[in-house]
Structure 1
Amino acid sequence: MTETWRNNTDCCSWDGISCDPKTGKVVELYLMNSFLSGPLRYDSSLFRLQHLHNVNLGSNNLSGMLPDSIENLKHLRVLSLGGCNLFGKIPSSLGNLSHLTNLDLSANDFTGELPGSMGNLNKLTELHLGSAKLSGNFPRVLLNLSSLVRIDLGYNQFKGMLPSNLSSLSKLEYFDISGNSFSGTVPSSLFMIPSLISLYLRVNEFSGPLDIGNISSQSNLQNLYIGENNFRKGIVDFSIFLHLKSLEGLDLSGIHLNISSTLHLPSPIDMLMLSSCNISEFPMFLQNQTNMFYLDISANQIQGQIPEWFWRLPALKFVNIAQNFFSGELTMLPDSIEHFLGSDNQFSGEIPRSICELDNLAILVLSNNNFSGSIPRCFKNFNTISILHLRNNSLSGVFPEEFISVKLISLDVGMNWLSGQLPKSLINCTSLEFLNVEDNRINDTFPFWLRSLPGLQILVLRFNEFHGPIYSPGSSMGFPTLRIFDISENSFTGVLPSEYFAGWTTMSSVRVARFDSIIGFAVAGSSQAPYHNYVVLTIKGLKLALVGSGFKIYKSIDVSGNKFEGGIPESIDLLKELIILNMSNNAFTGHIPPSLSNLSDLQSLDLSQNILSGEIPPDIGKLTFLAWMNFSYNRLEGPIPQATQIQSQNISSFSENPGLCGAPLLKKCGGEEEEEEGTKQEQDEDEEKEEKDQVFSWIAAAVGYVPGFFCGLTIAYILTP
């Protein structure tokens, strides 16, 4: 945007600059998302533009503290610095901007509480502080700002109870405190604000009875989101929400509900979230909800078939019925559907061919059901789907080329009976990030062409019938964005060249801060994600499932259970962020590369069941995060390094290496045996000498004792009368 900013030109003609037509003074600066960088210094020329009314520098890299000199902009009405990487405390001088009506400091890295001086901004109508890392109790200074229309404090670190007199914010229309740690009861004063339209309280720690029975009859509340809290006191009767005559969006997720089969909503509702509400019957009141486009009734105990009338609701775009007990065949999907999540149910039969007629379908998740038959061959414009998860069913046949959408981001067909080759049309999916085809019967060679996909992060081919080399002379070897590479339990062969891992950029980058240890833990994804990826990693010799919407922490390579030969590629040491390395059960030969000690983040290492020889490199003991290792069933020799990380391993980690010696094995090394023998001989000599000394001491004591004894008897006898 600043390309038009040239010397010797009128700044009022520059992009992003507005001037007062009468005075020529700069009154507006709009440079949002303009790739600016560098901190706002206290003496910045910006603070000399004292006629500014509107400043928007949002989504730039202004990394630094917000200086006190911000108060120089005395006429400022709108200040937008959201997403600017600002840190430190919010300066109290901000409270001197008495004309401010709109303040946006969201998505920054501030610390501490909101300054008390903010209570001086009595003209403020909009306050946006979402995801700003603020902490402390609810800022009571806001209760003085009676002009406030919008308050966004969502996803910070606030805690404690809400004040009881929130009704003093009499003009409030939008109130969002989601994603904090607020506790106690929800004050009834919130529901007494007639102007309130949207109330977001989800993902907090609110408890106690949920009572909105005294809600004002004049309520304009359209959006009520109170899910994912700790509401108790038994079951909440859904009918209490019938007081909300204008309701359009309702989130009651996590609240145990009682829903009458004769319940009738007085007004049409657009969005309804009833996840984890202990519902056992399909909500019949949905039958007349012709405006509903978003429905989440996942993680309940609803059984039986989905009513036919449900599929005829005309506006449905997002439907999540996952984690229930729905059964029978899935005969159709609504024509309007864009996102359909039906995983973890008991659906059977074939996947309906009607999905090929859905022009707007973007997400289809049918994992963990009993679907059988083949994957439909879709010929009609199947180019919209971005998420396709069909894992853990009984699907068979080949994976049709026609079913591959060029917009795919995540594809999971693992744990089925699919055969044939991997669809080469995947090469056209330039946005693909996640590909999992594990545990099928796919018979193919290594898909070298996947390297051309610029964003591929997770590739799982394990437990199939892949074969042949994974290296082709003259072809690219790099997977620049790959984080998880699992080709285990196949029939891959050949030798990996020394430079094989040279182009694996993401695993090679060095990050500033380390993540916490993942050994022994499985991670669940955010409950807000519309779908979950699923990956099984072999960690500490155990297979652990990772479920989530992203795995940026995990950097793993698993090539175990194949027929690789030759040495371990020296370029393995480039993968500085590698956490899990499993090359077991192959035919690797040669020495263990000493450069493995450069993998400072490594936590799990398995080189067992190969033909490796030589010594275990001593410097591997310096890997402080390495919690588990296995070198068993090789031809290793020499002493086991005496390092804490290595000595803490089970003896089985070094077994079946006839030449290995030293702790924790019982077999002593040669020098240790000679030294031990010499030490034992010296100990024996010392013990023999000590025994002789003890005998002489006893004899000397006895010699001294006997004459004394008789002398004592003699004296005693003489003194006896």
Structure 2
Amino acid sequence: MTLFLHHNDFRGRKLGDELQNLNSLKSLYLDQCSLDEHSLQNLGALPFLKNLSFSALSSTIPSGGFLHLRNLKFLNLSYNTLNNNSILQTIGLCDLNNIQELHMYDNNLSGFLPPCLANLTSLQHLDLSSNHLKIPVSLSPLYNLSKLKYFDGSGNEIFTEEDDHNLSPKFQLESLYLNNRGQGARAFPKFLYHQVNLQYMDLTNIHIKGEFPNWLIENNTYLQELHLENCSLSGPFLLPKNSHVNLSFLSISMNHFQGQIPSEIGAHLPRLEVLLMSDDGFNGSIPFSLGNISSLQAFDLSNNSLQGQIPGWIGNMSSLEFLDLSGNNFSGRLPLRFDTSSNLRYLYLSRNKLQGPIAMIFYNSVEIFALDLSHNNLTGTIPEWIGRLSNLRFLLLSYNNLEGEIPIQLSKLDQLTLIDLSHNHLSGNILSWMISTHPFPRQYYSYDYVSSSRQSLEFTTKNVSLYYIGSIIRYFTGIDFSCNNFTGEIPLDIGNLTKIKALNLLHNSLTGPIPPTFSNLKEIESLDLSYNKLDGEIPPRLTELFSLEVFSVAHNNLSGKTPTKVAQFATFDEKCYKDNPFLCGEPLLKICGATMPPSPSPTFTNNEDNGGFMDMEVFYVTFWVEYIMVLIVIGAVLYINPYWRRAWFYFIEVSINNCYYFLVDNLPILYKFGFS
């Protein structure tokens, strides 16, 4: 019999007395309840009680609460405020000799592992994760627990003992989790050499120096998952001597391997479903044998030094869902065909040296969820077939040499949340974009690990290029069309993108006014319209954008008064508005006056568009410099050449005589007309 009593207040009540007639009660759940020192009295009168859960209590656990529950096999104390080891003795936990499964994760436990845990000789499953405990990587305090199969100490401080003894534990673990907050270790703990039943092991962030432990895979033939991310492993990547048919998940990212990926990896690990090898220092090419792993679903080789062409056989991996080859030195053209990869959803090929047009064929285009080809040398136009990727959420084509206009077909991608076409040579008008506000579709994730931590997208917002990693991507929406040759006006429809966080249109040739509909972008954090040819006034209602942190309309032809310095706009300085000749008001030094022209004609900074206007200060300086230079040249010529000097003086003498006789002949006439 099972009884659920969640969310109740049992202070001042004796549960044992109230439940004494339930002699057959086996499971009692008191999660998120309130208890006091009387609440657990006489619970020992329930002879068949085997399972008890006290997670997330709104009060502390009473002293001696478990002293009489000698028959308990399952106890859940997670999400409480247990704050030191002595409390375990106080509540009677260390006297539960028959306990088999104990959960104490997400508490405030600190200090070393309590010695009394060694008394729980029936214990099979122990979860102490997400506390502040100091756990030796050797697990020596638990060596007496011969039945222990599962231990989770992740999220604690993992340390190396001074004396790494040669004792062997009595247990044979099936699952071991020691990831996170590790200080480091000199070598793999010796007890692992005696483990032969491991199925799941995670030592992520435990800095163990040495080579890859291929012996661990060889000794544990049932091993299914192995996580060794950021373990400071070095040397070559060593494979097990024989084929290991049970290993399905291998993560060795963020280590210091040298050399190439072993060519026979596909033969030795034929049942892999997830292979994560990013940030490892591998060079050479992708081994052909990987193409023979028909079960491979997630494959990450990003941020290595791999080179050559991306092999065409990658498009024939029928189970592949997630492929990340970004941050390498791959060259040549893009793989043309993914016509048998019917499950492919995430394709990341950015930061390589890929060339040529974007020409790819997908078996099932409606399944493509993310396409990142940024930071390459791709040329040609954006292909129209991208418009058929109806479920596309992320499209990143920035930092290439693409040209031409945006295909009208892309405006049909109503699931887009992030599009980056910046730093290309695109032209024409900007389409009316409808960035999706639909909930993130969970059906696209076969692996929570991949969806939560492996996705990484680079996008510029708040004038900084940032990497958005993991689940945060689902909450971010943005458009970046900066550094292109787009012309025409900004579409009014962009004002309907009420969920957008970033809009970058800087360094184009956009004209016309800033759409007043931009006041609807209530969640926008970064808006950059600088270095265009926009005119008209800045819509005053932009001050209603209370989430705005970065704003720039500099280097345009805007006029009128700057927005009122209220809310977020009180933080924007002069550089956000500079180089708009007819813009006035704070924080600019130019004070708005009544004589200012209401709607000036656009003026441009280049010489071709100046329309005959002359800078008079420059004219006067140029005139006097040239005048002085002419006098100097004439003087030098007369000084050097005596013939020209005599001719010059003769010319001056003749000119003086002519002027004299002209005045003598005409002076009476001037007197006659009254010019005296």
Q: Same fold (TM over 0.5)?
A: yes
Match of 2:73 among 125, 128, 134: 125
Distance 1:236 1:441 in 2: 44
C-alpha spacing 1:600/1:121, structure 2 compared with 1 (3 Å)? farther
TM-score (norm. length: structure 2): 0.71
C-alpha spacing 1:134/1:457, structure 2 compared with 1 (3 Å)? farther
Distance 2:495 2:94 in 1: 58
Deviation at 1:94, TM superposition (A): 8.3
Letter in 2 for 1:597: S
Aligned to 1:487: 421
Distance 1:95 1:434 in 2: 58
C-alpha spacing 1:582/1:135, structure 2 compared with 1 (3 Å)? farther
Aligned to 1:686: none
Match of 1:643 among 561, 565, 568: 565
1:546 aligns with 2:468: yes
1:331 aligns with 2:255: no
1:661 aligns with 2:609: no
Deviation at 1:586, TM superposition (A): 2.4
Distance 2:136 2:169 in 1: 22
Deviation at 1:95, TM superposition (A): 8.1
Per-residue deviation, residues 84-123 of structure 1 (Å, max 9, x unmatched): xx8x5456768887454234677xx765655669636554
219-228 or 538-547, larger mean C-alpha shift? 219-228
Aligned to 1:181: 132
Contact 2:182 2:205 survives alignment (8 Å): no
Match of 2:178 among 216, 226, 242: 226
Gaps of 5+ in 2: 442-447, 597-676
Distance 2:117 2:98 in 1: 13
Match of 2:118 among 161, 167, 189: 167
C-alpha spacing 1:445/1:398, structure 2 compared with 1 (3 Å)? same
C-alpha spacing 1:188/1:414, structure 2 compared with 1 (3 Å)? closer
Deviation at 1:391, TM superposition (A): 0.7
Deviation at 1:666, TM superposition (A): 2.1
Deviation at 1:174, TM superposition (A): 0.6
Match of 2:523 among 593, 597, 601: 601
State the Cα RMSD in Å: 4.2
Distance 1:487 1:447 in 2: 13
Deviation at 1:134, TM superposition (A): 3.4
Identity among equivalent positions (%) equals 28
Distance 2:34 2:431 in 1: 55
Larger Rg: 1 or 2?
2
Aligned with 1:158: secondary structure?
coil
Aligned to 1:532: 454
Distance 2:485 2:123 in 1: 68
C-alpha spacing 1:118/1:568, structure 2 compared with 1 (3 Å)? farther
Aligned to 1:402: 338
Aligned to 2:352: 416
Per-residue deviation, residues 493-528 of structure 1 (Å, max 9, x unmatched): 443466x32x6224999xxxxxxxxxxxxxxxx999
Aligned to 2:285: 350
C-alpha spacing 1:671/1:188, structure 2 compared with 1 (3 Å)? farther
Contact 1:597 1:619 survives alignment (8 Å): yes
C-alpha spacing 1:367/1:189, structure 2 compared with 1 (3 Å)? closer
Aligned to 1:688: none
C-alpha spacing 1:455/1:589, structure 2 compared with 1 (3 Å)? same
Per-residue deviation, residues 561-606 of structure 1 (Å, max 9, x unmatched): 2333333333333333322221212233322233323333322211
C-alpha spacing 1:507/1:380, structure 2 compared with 1 (3 Å)? closer
Aligned to 1:693: none
Match of 2:322 among 387, 394, 407: 387
Aligned to 2:104: 153
Aligned with 2:511: secondary structure?
strand
Deviation at 1:657, TM superposition (A): 1.0
C-alpha spacing 1:616/1:143, structure 2 compared with 1 (3 Å)? farther
Letter in 2 for 1:342: M
Letter in 1 for 2:341: S
Aligned to 1:135: 81
C-alpha spacing 1:552/1:55, structure 2 compared with 1 (3 Å)? farther
Match of 1:586 among 482, 496, 508: 508
Contact 1:312 1:334 survives alignment (8 Å): no
Task: For 1:696-715, list aligned pairs within 5 A.
Answer: none
Match of 2:26 among 62, 67, 77: 77
Deviation at 1:218, TM superposition (A): 3.9
1:191 aligns with 2:137: no
Deviation at 1:194, TM superposition (A): 3.2
Match of 2:377 among 432, 441, 453: 441
Deviation at 1:416, TM superposition (A): 1.8
C-alpha spacing 1:625/1:110, structure 2 compared with 1 (3 Å)? farther
Contact 2:174 2:200 survives alignment (8 Å): no
1:370 aligns with 2:305: yes
C-alpha spacing 1:447/1:174, structure 2 compared with 1 (3 Å)? farther
Letter in 1 for 2:75: L
Distance 1:122 1:672 in 2: 92
Match of 2:540 among 618, 627, 630: 618
Letter in 2 for 1:642: T
Distance 1:304 1:598 in 2: 56
TM-score (norm. length: structure 1): 0.67
180-189 or 658-667, larger mean C-alpha shift? 180-189
Contact 2:121 2:144 survives alignment (8 Å): no
Match of 2:207 among 268, 277, 281: 277
Letter in 1 for 2:148: L
C-alpha spacing 1:381/1:184, structure 2 compared with 1 (3 Å)? closer
Distance 1:307 1:221 in 2: 24
Deviation at 1:658, TM superposition (A): 0.9
Deviation at 1:648, TM superposition (A): 2.8
Distance 2:195 2:547 in 1: 56
Deviation at 1:175, TM superposition (A): 0.3
Contact 1:102 1:125 survives alignment (8 Å): yes
Per-residue deviation, residues 611-654 of structure 1 (Å, max 9, x unmatched): 22222223323433322211112111112123253343342221
C-alpha spacing 1:404/1:279, structure 2 compared with 1 (3 Å)? farther
Letter in 2 for 1:358: I
Letter in 2 for 1:199: F
Aligned with 1:399: secondary structure?
coil
C-alpha spacing 1:365/1:103, structure 2 compared with 1 (3 Å)? same
Contact 1:192 1:215 survives alignment (8 Å): no
Letter in 2 for 1:438: S
Distance 1:111 1:456 in 2: 45
Letter in 2 for 1:356: G
Match of 1:670 among 590, 593, 606: 593
Aligned to 2:397: 461
Distance 2:393 2:77 in 1: 33
